[in-house]
Amino acid sequence: MITFGYTSDAANHYEIWSANTPDVYLDGITQLLNITYQALDVGKVFVQVLNINVVATGAAPTTSAPPVPYATPRGFANDITQWLAARQGSEAAIAKTLMFNNINIPGAAPGTVIAAQSYTAPDYAYNWVRDSSLTMDVVQSFYAAGTGSHKATYESILFQYAQARYQEQVDPGLQTGLGEPKFFLNNSIFTGPWGRPQNDGPATSAITLMEFSSDYLAAGGSLATIRQAIYDGPQAPVLRDLLFVANNWTYSSFDIWEEEPSDHFYNRMVQHRALLMGATFALQFNDGATSQILSAAATAIAATLGQFWDPIRNLILYEYGPVLRGKYSYKDVAVVLGVIHGYAGDGIYSYTNDQVLETAWQIATSFIPVFPIAATHFDAQGRPLGTPIGRYPEDVYNGVDTSLGNPWYLCTASMAELFYRASTAFNKAGSITVTETSLPFWQYFAPGQTYTCGTTYNLGRGNNYGWGSVSPNGNTQQGNAMIASLQGWADAFMRTVKYYTPAGGHLSEEVNRTTGVAQGAKDLTWSYAALLTAAFARAEAGGAPVGYSNYVRILANL
Ligand code: NOJ
Ligand code: NOJ
């Protein structure tokens, strides 16, 4: 982190600035080449050549032998297919019921979500903007797939949600604009001390409501209704949130864990996606001027995303800035969440991107030495368990206060989701190219094969898409085996969620790192939402015998 301070005025046609680097976060910097900065007040970009040699003082990255894989799961596993089946009594059905139990709870404002059924130790009896938007995104998937009275119910919840979001935006007590993170259940602002703003919320809320709008229109709904209730009617939330994002993305914000004010990968990813979607959305209302504002901001964010890649650590950093909260591993599963919630379909940090895969491998394996329960590699039937995933290795939040951090259900399910989505995307592309960057990922998750960097492995007969009628050659066999490994490990991560799910199927926030017993907020809504989006991604990847649309429809209509 380099802090610049302005120390002198421009009386003599030059300015004096001082630079301070208390904690060089990219070890190995040897020279400062130039300063390029954007002056928001005058709307100009300035470049000053420096060419100054510097000595970096940060700790060198630790290099240790890469972890050795303890299992080689291949393909979708029947126990997970059963556990997530679209039928009464499955965990997917239980998660759906318990998630809806937390929406519109008695006495709460319509369209709100209680973050967890936990009123003390911890008190999660609030409507968090982030948690609600991610929950409503699942409602939206059910809306899109459901039929009849089920569809109608989801539709009315989503219109209520739009209204609730508008109420939040105009609450007279906002301290940090639309980035306020949490509201009481009557949807009035929580004004106590808190990490604010959290500028991911306006983006994820807009994404959910724009997705809903497309499906509503596709189902024959009226554009005028969407304009009035969702886009820019007097009580519509989406344009407000999108303009807030376009105008505020450069400012630092707290992260999704509500702990660190900085420039966060997760936030930028969801903001970029929201703006790109918004640019297209606005055109439906012939609002070309807004579309241009949003698309220009999306382009500007896109230009910053590459800066999160740390070429020394081969890692996508979760934030720019100094190490806070002792996060010396520089790893945070928020990066994986940023990709699954924020990938915009434009090729930037896609599910199959080699930097994303490399980062996912590093994050997943970083918890092996941290959580004692990670030493349990197999369930009672001998089936492999993926490493339990927490927020970041150094986490000390125990779900109530601070001591030792734990694995989280939603983090573990999100790792599975990334793997399912990667397998779908590779299958659609028809091939996998192994690069030097992604090599460690493949060596760990699909071991036992020889990889040549730069080689493209084709996919075909034998994988779930099963095109082609000729027997696969060696190259294709290897590609198919890689896909099977992705699917096998995705299921292994889901099996970890399953393994630590208590009888009855209730999910809290976390599981104790030593005992594996559920801990923290009970019935965390986001845990259910994350389980369901992972289940949807599994169905899309080919894991549900009935296929993706039947799977979501049957579940929606249960
Ligand atoms: C509550 C936040 O929600 C949680 O994410 C954080 O870790 C703890 N406070 C500790 O700061
Ligand atoms: C703490 C988590 O860190 C944060 O992400 C979440 O929004 C709140 N709990 C509410 O679930």
Ligand 1 and 379: CB distance under 6 A: no
Confirm whether 137 is a catalytic residue.
no
For the CA of 525, the closest atom of ligand 2 is: 11
Handedness of CA 516, 518, 519, 525 (dihedral sign): positive
Residue 66: pLDDT band by 50, 70, 90 thresholds? Answer: confident
Q: What is the pLDDT of residue 18?
A: 57
Q: Where are the alpha helices (DSSP H) in 219-315?
A: 223-226, 238-248, 265-283, 288-305
Q: Which of 258, 259, 379, 394 is flagged as catalytic?
A: 258
Mean pLDDT, range 288-307, rounded to an integer: 98
Distance between CA 230 and CA 206 in Å, rounded? 9
Confirm whether 41 is a catalytic residue.
no
Question: Which of 41-50, 57-66, 307-316 has maximum average pLDDT?
Answer: 307-316
Ligand 1 and 394: CB distance under 6 A: no
Instruction: Using the predicted structure, report yes or no on whether residue 471 has a pLDDT greater than 70.
Output: no
Q: What is the pLDDT of residue 541?
A: 97
Handedness of CA 93, 95, 98, 100 (dihedral sign): negative
Cβ proximity of 334 and 255 under 8 Å = yes
Q: Which of 155, 200, 241, 255 is flagged as catalytic?
A: 255
Distance 105 CA to ligand 2 centre (A): 19
Instruction: Using the predicted structure, report yes or no on whether residue 61 has a pLDDT greater than 60.
Output: no
Per residue in 157-167, pLDDT (tens digit) is: 999 999 999 99
Mean pLDDT, range 55-72, rounded to an integer: 76
Instruction: Please list every protein residue whose CB sits less than 6 Å from any atom of ligand 2.
Output: 115, 124, 128, 130-131, 256-258, 526
Select from 129, 194, 257, 403 the residue to mutate for testing ligand 1; criterion: most ligand atoms less than 8 Å from CB. Answer: 257
Mean pLDDT, range 370-399, rounded to an integer: 98
Residue 42: pLDDT band by 50, 70, 90 thresholds? Answer: confident
Per residue in 133-151, pLDDT (tens digit) is: 999 999 999 999 999 999 9
What's the whole-model pTM score? 0.90
Q: What is the pLDDT of residue 2?
A: 60
Taking CA atoms only, the protein residue closest to ligand 1 atom 7 is 397
Terminal C-alpha separation, the chain? 51
Residue 111: pLDDT band by 50, 70, 90 thresholds? Answer: very high
Instruction: Using the predicted structure, report yes or no on whether residue 23 has a pLDDT greater than 50.
Output: no
Q: What is the pLDDT of residue 465?
A: 46
Taking CA atoms only, the protein residue closest to ligand 1 atom 11 is 259
